[in-house]
Chains A and B, each alone.
Chain A
Amino acid sequence: MPMTGKVFLIAALAAACSLPGFAVLGEDVSSVQADRVHSNASMRVTPAQNYTIHELRSATGVLVREYASASGKIFAVSWQGPTLPDLQQLLGSYFEEFQKAAQSQNRPGGHSPLIIQHSGFVVELGGHMRSFVGRAYLADQMPSEVSNQEIR
């Protein structure tokens, strides 16, 4: 989307529902659009330079942003809210890799952030009880000229 960096709102659907209809990291955004409308999840779509942000708020108050490339592929997701989102759903086929890495990193100091940096797949999870924040992205599938600093 050649919007010269400007970000603006093009759609807002009201109401809230639980998580169904969220797109999945590494998969195509088009397959879930119908689900979203069907599930009435709170959503807005924001075009940015080289990608589109699909923003949803779950019924539990978690704000999820999905970053779709021009070709419609989800290359990053981020979240913030009073609890964690369903990462099994959000990370899709990457969930198992995340879970294994999280297990192997598990160490005393249970409140330290969880940082997983594999080649091509990064997950960062931080916050504390009642307030969680995090993001996951596919480093080698980011559109050119998009910095991971834009994923938040």
Chain B
Amino acid sequence: MKFLAMMALGLTTVSLACGGGSSHKSSMLPVAASASNIQPIVVNSGPAGNYANGLFTSVTLCVPATSNCQTIDGILVDTGSFGLRLLSSGGGGALTLSLPQQKQSNGTVGECALFVSGYTWGSVNTADVMIAGEQASNVPVQVIDPTFAAVPSACKSAGVPENDSLQTLGANGILGIGPFAADCGRACAQTGSSNPGMYYECAGSSCQIAAEPVAQQVQNPVALFPSDNNGVIIQLPALTASAASLSGSMIFGIGTQSNNSLGKAKVFPVNSSGEFTTTFKGQSYPAFVDSGSNALFFLNTNTTGLSTCSNSSGFYCPSSTQNLSAVTTSGSPSQTIDFSIANAESLFSNRGDFVFEDLGGPNPGTFDWGLPFFFGRSVFTAIEARSTPAGTGPFWAY
């Protein structure tokens, strides 16, 4: 709770109104969560009770080809990463099912997965993964476990904190459903100095950097579904005021069934880094769409005019709510996005609220369209090299 407690200052009432504009938030009828490709999702405080703007779902895991299964909720839904990661019970998570470990010639396979504000360390295991009516078999997943083996120095030297507990992760796992099928790709399949050091071979507690073939890397489970495997739609209703929770749907497949057509959504192809462009005040910046980011994180005080909070340099705290606008582009498609940034300390001052529309913060030279971007939209994420009625992924569409 330190995060919210730290921000629990001030009782200023702030306006949560969003500016109307060329593309803002259409009203949307939620799809009934009954079809086999629809999974309920919810924004709430999560399994640790301290997450602001965390989008969660449940996932069922089975020992491959058996009925020995476990359903785990409180899994963060993340379009900014790739692959399923589960916090072991040893780390305070929910996973108790014993999944077979992936092996290479010189030992079991370990992984250091880098996120911006932390890394996850643990073994690579294999599971059958079921979400809604979809099932992917023999999926390489990461089991986050601080006791698996000593954390390699190359993992520690990145300097970011280890997220290996329920308190630091805030979730029982991460479901990475971004626009790539594997979490690293070709770089990690190479030997020598060009290997970035995500994958390791571990004998006992000693781990060495290893070349990991792409198909054995931790995989986006959606890409391994037998059908509806070209992408995902995240649908969340518009938010009219800060709330304790907000429910929506995650729909698998793009244009594969009657309930997942693109409709009038504009398609924005992304580059090999999973990014497109956002223009703000006449300047263009790299940008991405990330349901796992809990605010709109963009630029800095100098370029936005928004001051950061006195108690947390990670959020903006303007004295009054600011209505802003930016344009997302990828080649010719273009869409104006209107948004508002409120004082984060004021938003956090109501201890019962965990869903915030106008939450923002700085981000060096980049536009991260985090979870508030998803409110009131259907956001499509198409996976690399998969065909859809609007062309081949990777792309975002909304």
Residue ranges of A at the interface with B (Cβ–Cβ < 8 Å): 16-18, 59-61, 82-84, 86-89, 91, 95, 98-99, 102-103, 105-117, 124-135, 147-149, 152
Contacts of A116 in B (CB 8 A): 313
B 294-327 contacts with A by CB, 8 A: 294-295, 297, 300, 302-303, 308, 312-314
Contact with A along B307-349 (1 / 0, CB 8 A): 0100011100000000000000000000000000000000000
Closest-by-CB residue of A relative to B367 is: A126
Q: Is the CB of A117 within 8 A of B51?
A: no
Report yes or no: B46 in contact with A111, Cβ–Cβ below 8 A. no
- CB-CB nearest 8 A-B residue pairs: A108-B170, A107-B3, A87-B159, A131-B273, A109-B294, A83-B196, A124-B364, A59-B193
Closest Cβ of chain A to B369, distance in Å, is 11
How far apart are A81's CB and chain B's nearest CB, in angstroms? 9
B82, B116, B197, B366 — most chain A CB neighbours (10 Å): B116
Q: Per-residue CB proximity of B46-60 to A under 8 Å, as 1/0?
A: 101011111000000
Q: Are B114 and A129 in contact (CB under 8 A)?
A: yes
Asked, given contacts A84-B160, A126-B363, A128-B116, whether A113 binds B196 with beta carbons under 8 Å apart, the answer is no
Residues of B within 8 A of A148 (CB): 302
Is B134 engaged at the interface, CB distance under 8 Å to the other chain?
no
Q: How would you classify the secondary structure of chain A's contact residues: helix, strand, loop or mixed? A: mixed
User: How many B residues have CB within 8 A of the partner chain?
Assistant: 74
Q: Are B168 and A112 in contact (CB under 8 A)?
A: no
Distance of A60 Cα from B184 Cα, bound (Å): 12
Interface of B is mostly: loop
B-chain residues with CB within 8 Å of residue A16 when the two chains form the complex: 193-194
Tell me whether B157 and A112 are in contact (CB under 8 A): no
Q: Please, how many angstroms separate the alpha-carbon atoms of A117 and B302 in the complex?
A: 14
Residues of B within 8 A of A61 (CB): 187, 194, 196
- Given contacts A108-B169, A111-B80, are A132 and B117 in contact (CB under 8 A)? no
List residues of chain A with CB within 8 A of the CB of B295: 109, 112
Say yes or no: B178 contacts A126, CB within 8 Å.
no
Chain A residues whose C-beta falls within 8 Å of the C-beta of B176 in the assembled complex: 129
Contact B364 A129 (CB under 8 A): no
- Of chain A, the residue at the smallest CB distance from B171 is A108
Q: A110: which B residues are within 8 A, CB to CB?
A: 76, 115-118, 163, 168-170, 174, 292
Is B157's CB under 8 angstroms from A88's CB?
Answer: yes
Q: Are A108 and B3 in contact (CB under 8 A)?
A: yes
B114–A126 touching, CB < 8 Å: no
In the complex, A109→B297 CA distance in Å?
A: 12
